[in-house]
């Protein structure tokens, strides 16, 4: 009994290991190809419909990335079985991008036809002379691909003889490809729009702040030149950071430095009326976040804290480690705000006077991290304001720009 177990188990282990390896390789192959088995029930018409739609849906993703040799190759591989032609090819305006099937030695000749088609803007049927007896590329159709009346390339299908069916089918497929290319164009336009929007949303430094800071510095030039020099340097550093063009993201540590410079300049104006308490968990200092997304919140807190109050203002800035998130809280003891008014401001219709900073920061945070990471604001009239931001420690695409 035991001897038997001994004899069997080595083989068993080897088998198990092999099975594991095979499973892994198989999974890799599936992931690499993402091939979906075509099957199912139904009569032949249903099957044919399903197969056609399925093929089209497989060919769509590569085309949605635009017309390049790589995407053309993938699309042709899917589309050729659909048409059943001996050769199917995609060209752009001056070369063949992908050739599926046989007869590739006709590339130059076909490209010549494609140029004619692109010149006229209308599909054409051509015959091809070939010395090779068994060459299946004898005649075919070349159809232009257009995006908004703009010709981008051609789709061509060739077979052993002229065929109306092939010509019509090719025209339909070409129309479908054109639609995909148009969608690709739309995708690109949308992406660049979002980017432009983000850039426009980057916080702007307020002209009032520049004026007030320079005036405050000027008042120190005679009485305390050393302080004036220091403030001027802070001002230079602050503007350099705020005006920088490259990179949409920074680190919490960098953002804190900018806040420090900002508060230093505000203190020059308001003196000891402005009090700040900081509690920053060192673990979250390297967290990447959108450039200038905390400084406007502090600016807001300063404004609210000092507005209509002679007793001075206190601002608390806290950053905590929350596992895979960092929680930043900015709290002031100022006049607060009516929650309804705040809601209007965050919706972007609070009037021109105030709250641009809050709304802007909220929009950018939502753009980058999604809606669940917008600002959380707790406030009431005369009750101060508490703004909470929850930032993920990692989000793909968010990397602080080098200093």
Nearest C-alpha neighbor of 341 from the set 385, 306, 294, 373:
385
Can you tell me the distance from the alpha carbon of 229 to that of 385, in angstroms, rounded to the nearest whole number? 34
Q: Under rule CB under 8 A, which residues in 101-120 are in contact with other proteins?
A: none
Nearest C-alpha neighbor of 257 from the set 113, 39, 403:
403
**Smallest separation (angstroms) from other proteins to the CB of 321:** 7
Q: What is the per-residue binding string for other proteins in 279-298, x denoting contact by CB under 8 A?
A: xxxxx-xx-x----------
Contact flag: residue 277 with other proteins (CB under 8 A): yes
Nearer to other proteins, 145 or 302 (CB): 302
Select from 41-49, 113-121, 192-200, 234-242 the region that touches other proteins (CB under 8 A). 234-242
Tell me the DSSP string of 243-305: H--S-SEEEHHHHHHHHHHHHHHHHHHHGGGEEEEEEE-GGGTT-EEETTSSHHHHHHHHHHH
Can you tell me the distance from the alpha carbon of 28 to that of 49, in angstroms, rounded to the nearest whole number? 30
Contact flag: residue 376 with other proteins (CB under 8 A): no
Q: What is the per-residue binding string for other proteins in 306-345, x denoting contact by CB under 8 A?
A: --------------xxxxx---------------------
Among 115, 162, 257, 366, binds other proteins (CB under 8 A): 257
C-alpha dihedral sign at 290, 294, 296, 297: positive
Contact flag: residue 6 with other proteins (CB under 8 A): yes
- Region of 325 on the Ramachandran plot (φ > 0 left; ψ -120 to 50 alpha; else beta): beta
Contact (CB, 8 A) for 91 and 101: no
Contact flag: residue 69 with other proteins (CB under 8 A): no
Q: How many of the chain's residues bind other proteins (CB under 8 A)? A: 60
Residues in the site for other proteins, rule: CB under 8 A? 2, 5-6, 9-10, 12-13, 16-17, 20-21, 23-25, 27-29, 31-32, 70, 230, 233-234, 236-237, 240, 245-246, 253, 256-257, 259-261, 275-283, 285-286, 288, 320-324, 372, 393-394, 396, 398-400, 402-403
């Amino acid at each position: 009994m035991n001897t038997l177990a001994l004899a069997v188990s080595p083989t068993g282990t080897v088998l198990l290991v092999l099975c594991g390896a095979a499973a892994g390789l198989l999974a890799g192959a599936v992931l690499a190809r993402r091939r979906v088995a075509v099957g199912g029930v139904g009569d032949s018409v249903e099957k044919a419909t399903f197969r056609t739609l399925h093929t089209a849906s497989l060919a769509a993703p590569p085309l949605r990335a635009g017309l390049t040799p790589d995407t053309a190759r993938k699309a042709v591989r899917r589309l050729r079985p659909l048409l059943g032609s001996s050769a199917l090819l995609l060209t752009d305006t001056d070369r063949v991008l992908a050739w599926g099937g046989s007869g590739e030695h006709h590339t130059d000749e076909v490209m010549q036809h494609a140029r004619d088609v692109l010149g006229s803007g209308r599909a054409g049927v051509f015959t091809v002379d070939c010395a090779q007896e068994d060459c299946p590329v004898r005649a075919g159709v070349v159809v232009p691909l257009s995006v908004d009346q703009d010709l981008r390339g051609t789709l061509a299908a060739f077979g052993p003889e002229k065929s109306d069916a092939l010509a019509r089918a090719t025209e339909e497929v070409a129309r479908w490809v054109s639609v995909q290319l148009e969608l690709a164009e739309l995708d690109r336009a949308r992406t660049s729009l979002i980017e432009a929007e983000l850039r426009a949303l980057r916080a702007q430094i307020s002209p009032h702040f520049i004026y007030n800071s320079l005036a405050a510095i000027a008042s120190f030039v005679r009485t305390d030149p050393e302080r004036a020099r220091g403030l001027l340097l802070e001002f230079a550093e602050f503007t350099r950071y705020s005006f920088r063009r490259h990179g949409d993201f920074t680190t919490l540590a960098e953002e804190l430095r900018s806040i420090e410079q900002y508060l230093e300049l505000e203190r020059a104006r308001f003196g000891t009326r402005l009090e700040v308490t900081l509690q920053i968990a060192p673990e979250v200092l390297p967290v990447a976040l959108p450039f200038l997304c905390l400084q406007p919140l502090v600016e807001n807190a300063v404004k609210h804290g000092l507005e209509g109050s002679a007793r001075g203002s206190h601002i608390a800035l806290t950053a905590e480690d929350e596992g895979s998130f960092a929680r930043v809280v900015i709290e002031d003891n100022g006049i607060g705000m009516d929650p309804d008014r705040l809601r209007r401001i965050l919706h972007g219709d609070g009037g021109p006077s105030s709250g641009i900073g809050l709304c802007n920061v909220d929009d950018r945070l939502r753009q980058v991290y999604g809606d669940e990471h917008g600002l959380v604001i707790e406030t009431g009239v005369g009750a101060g304001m508490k703004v909470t931001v929850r930032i993920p420690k990692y989000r793909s695409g968010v990397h602080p720009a080098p200093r």
